[in-house]
Chain A
Amino acid sequence: MVGCDAYPDVAGADLRGAVSDALAMRTWLLDSSGGGLAMGDLRLLVSTSAEGAKPPEEIVSGEATVRDFLKALGELDRLPSTQDDRLFVYFAGHGCQTDPTNQALSEDAIVFSDFNEYQPQAGCMGISALERRLSAMRYGEFFVFVDACRDFPYASSFQLGGLGYDKAQEKERAYYPRAHVFQATLPGGVARGESTGSGAVSGLFTKWLLDGLRGEGEAKTFNPTTATPRYEVTWDRLRSWVERQLPDQLPRARAEGNPVLSLFDDGWFSDIQLQVNVSPQALSARRDLEMLIEFDSLADPDAGRITATGPTPSCHMVPPRRQRIFARAPGLPWGRQFVDAYVDTVVELTVPEQPSSPSALAVPGGRTVRGVRGLRKAPLSLSVEDPAAVIELVDLGGRRIAAAASILDQEVPAGSYVARVHVPGFPPEEHPVEVLGDMPESCQLRTSPGNHPQVWNGSGRPASTAASAPGLAVCLQTFEGRPATIATISVQHSHNSPSWRVMPERARVPCQQASGGTDTWLSEVSPGDTLQAGGRTVQVPVHPMIHTSVAAPDEAPIVVRLVDRHLVGTVSALLLERAQGFEEAGQPEFCQVLLDQLARRRVESDVASVLRGDSDLTALQQAISSSLARSSPGADMLPGQIWRVTTSLAND
């Protein structure tokens, strides 16, 4: 736990809430109903300022300096640890970028109390260097939470210095730690705080993070599939929760997996109010309207079934979890609505007005046992308009049942499920799915525009990426009269970002899709050509017959994608790009889903062959394979990239 309020060598940089934020996090970690950590397994490092909190000396292990931090890491590394152990790293203080003029190429760093402008790398630690160090430890998982602005008052570019010595890597390890990193804001953003009334300022990221870890609102989910039903706060739920609370601050998270961070017994949380509104109005006012609300109550199935009559609106107190709501007018079929309700919720339910088949008149639902209503199976069909989105079906315990691209057809046992729509770079959208077991279920999943990249315009062709999305520069234009074997590169960047150009200078063609404050152009390139922007030289993979797209959004790392030239502008290109996105995001299983989809479409793709890890690669495929970042790691590579993207200071 690091709380750094004091920056003695940088005028005006002192903070007054970082130490108190670290103390709040420490309290949660040591709480038996929270992190459940033993005191001896925690190190608290603080540097206090005149206005910030001053914790008692006996709980402080050292100063918030790089030296003490590395010392504490070393101590924790020496504790006996196994794959079942977790390491939490929390940092509250300032953050900065190594290249403030070119955010797409910059690295994130946290700034310690010993920072000084003459030797900036000495008081900084790169997030990626920290991750590498933590990956060399023997914990099964590590979690890095950074509540830091990335607008430190220091505006020069510098190179990070690494973390002292390199920890010796064991040659063969049974496991590698899974990384989970959650940062308060995106590069250049401000991590805001709120006054606590005592003059201190508490970080909003930490506040909502802790609220989420304590299971507030929709941060939790009810898991009825375990021996003891319980509430869980998983990484994905926590991430979505914090992101929803801080829409303007744009917190950033990435993870390898979706571990459970907090557990709560059934009964821990207060009941919520469920208001049922029925339409059409002619039926909603009827007193003989029948309503049925069902929820999982495994200990006492009878308690999980509420019957009521009209008129509506009708309010009921229910435990926070999946609710199955049914309503009908006598003699008419049941209308139904399913909702995962974790806060007071209003449900709009449309009731059929016309008679239907006799089976539709039967009383719906039924008692549940461990989230599954029985062994009956029924066909389930889920679809989403986006052809390159991955639909993942999980049970209420988060166990994956199936995953598919765009359309998922699966026979499943009657029960409760969640459908997640995945697009790389965005949190998954979740939809409650119920299979009642008496009929096939089919559902068109609608994605909300605000939470989903608009890369699919529904017209049957991929649209250009919106400027705000860290998506791809998909360019439909080709050079007329030129052979298809030449390598091309398209670059999309904001008008606000430094000017990008190919070196040596070549002719370039603007793409017609450029809009919304971005500039996209297409250029022929040769191996060895470089891109230059803002005093940096960048080398990206370039291969004949392969189109390399480079997106340099204002507020996110550079995105490089490779697509076979003959696929550019097709749905297959989108599948290929997304597959790379999933691989980059640490979700190789979804990458595989999209590659399988390409194979089903009988698409010939050199890039796909490389991503699939095919044997007997052609010369071109071998060349592409050598461009994978994992093929030849190097110090000058930008972190977090699937392809080998290197950067250095430009000579001119």
Chain B
Amino acid sequence: MALAPGTQDRVRQAFAELCSATNEQEFLDRLFRHPVLLRGDVVQWLAGQIDRSTEQEKLSRLAMANEIRMSILASEYPPDLGPVEQIWRRVDSGELSIEQAHVAARQLPVTESLMGLYVTHLFFSLAEGDAHGVWRRSRMRGDILLSALDACAHRDEPALRRGRLLGTTRWAHFLLTEVPEVRVLELGDAAGRAALTDAQAAKEADEVRHMSYELAALWGDPYVADRSIEAYQQNMMAWRRRGAEELGQVEGLGPEAWAMPEPEVALRTSIGYWRTARAAAPNDPAVLIGLAEAAAFLRGLTGGELEDDAVSAVREGVAITAEPDSDAVLRHRFLALSNQLSRQ
């Protein structure tokens, strides 16, 4: 798809700013302020605009930008510089209402900057830290980001799609650990399942394992993270009460907004995704412990025997983590589960 005339104007201006940077930090700041310059098709278009015989300096600046584009990871992406973060800040400062922010996010000067790396970084930045203090802000910011992504629905870019799907699943997981909200669970689940389907269609075992892991965590963690069987009912009541307070009292939504699935249903769904992950990565101790702990928690709630594949997961996990250089915390978790099993 050809670049829009307005995009071309903004890219020219952004690249001119980049070329006039006087030091490396300034260069990086300007580059990440205009993530559109990190799009492959934009780099290619700019290369075609440069006269190679007379504009060597521009060419080398473009090469630097391209090198960063090719090598940077989402986790290394510098925070707070891009156009989406700018909208978030303006909402925080009261310059824009939330409604205006959603409109602003859908405009081409913002959406043209969205690509896989940047979107993944944005979602991950919303899922950092303690959800307790930032839940409402993270939720509002994520919704604005989703508005921007909705406006790019026609773009057929696998990296952008993956960034959205993975990011939405991770962000939803983060929000749900703090406040139960059906809409967020549905958003995260739909995104995660779409990404899993993509991975299965592409027969990419690593990605199948990754997305199954994310989905298993999405369904399981809000019900089990930092909870014990002994105080489970109090913990669950406190969690549901947060839904009633934040969604009911503050936003005026009805109880259906926080009427999450029962724990047994959620945990069985989670265990299903752990099994998919195990099938894709049979010896991954992180998957084995996830499956085993979720199964053990479910058994704690419902009683009865631990299922065979959970038992085998514990045994295999103990064996895999027995090596001295393996993860000590994981080893301890496997041994604790193994002890529980041996007492039965």
Footprint of B on A, CB under 8 Å? Answer: 31-33, 36, 227-229, 264-271, 298-302
Contacts and interface: CB of A to CB of B under 8 A. Distances in A.
The 7 closest A-B pairs by CB, nearest first: A267-B108, A299-B104, A265-B108, A268-B4, A267-B109, A270-B5, A228-B106
Interface size class of B (residues with CB under 8 A): 20 to 34
12 contacts: A32-B155, A264-B4, A265-B4, A265-B108, A267-B7, A267-B10, A268-B4, A268-B6, A269-B4, A271-B9, A299-B96, A299-B103
B333 to A, nearest CB: 48
Interface string B120-148: 00000000000000000000000000000
A394 to B, nearest CB: 22
A266 B9 CA distance: 14
Q: Is the interface of A mostly helix, strand, loop or mixed?
A: loop
Contacts of A227: 103
Contacts of B156: 32
B108 A32 contact: no
B154 A265 contact: no
Contacts of B212: none
Contact of B108 (A266, A298, A300): A266
Contacts of B151: 228, 265
Interface string B95-114: 11000110110111101100
B1 A33 contact: yes
A547 B95 CA distance: 67
B111 A265 contact: yes
B9 A265 contact: no
Contact of B154 (A36, A301, A302): A36
Interface of B: 1-2, 4-10, 95-96, 100-101, 103-104, 106-109, 111-112, 151, 154-156
A298 B9 CA distance: 21
Contacts of A271: 6, 9
Contact of A267 (B6, B103, B155): B6
A269 B104 contact: no
Contacts of A266: 107-108
A299 B96 CA distance: 8
A267 B1 contact: no
Nearest to B103: A299
A266 B106 CA distance: 9
Contact of A269 (B5, B111, B112): B5
Contacts of A270: 5-6, 8-9
A31 B4 CA distance: 13
B335 to A, nearest CB: 55
Contacts of B103: 227-229, 298-299
Nearest to A267: B108
Contacts of B154: 32-33, 36
A370 to B, nearest CB: 9
A283 to B, nearest CB: 34
Contacts of A33: 1-2, 4, 154
Given A228-B103, A299-B103, A300-B104, A269 B96 contact: no
B6 A32 contact: no
Contacts of A299: 96, 100-101, 103-104, 107
A33 to B, nearest CB: 6
Contacts of B10: 267
Given A33-B154, A267-B109, 5 more contacts: A31-B1, A33-B2, A227-B103, A266-B108, A299-B104
Contacts of A265: 4, 106-108, 111, 151
B83 to A, nearest CB: 11
A267 B106 CA distance: 10
Task: Choose among A265, A298, A302 the residue with the greatest number of B CB atoms under 10 Å from its CB.
Answer: A265
Contacts of B95: 302
Contact of A300 (B4, B5, B100): B100
A407 B52 CA distance: 63
Task: Choose among A229, A299, A300, A301 the residue with the greatest number of B CB atoms under 10 Å from its CB.
Answer: A299
Contacts of A264: 4
Contacts of A302: 95
B1 A269 contact: no
A302 B1 CA distance: 32
A31 B154 CA distance: 11
Contacts of A228: 103, 106, 151
Given A32-B154, A32-B156, A269 B107 contact: no
A374 B282 CA distance: 63
Contacts of B104: 299-300
Nearest to B152: A265
Contact of A298 (B4, B8, B100): B100
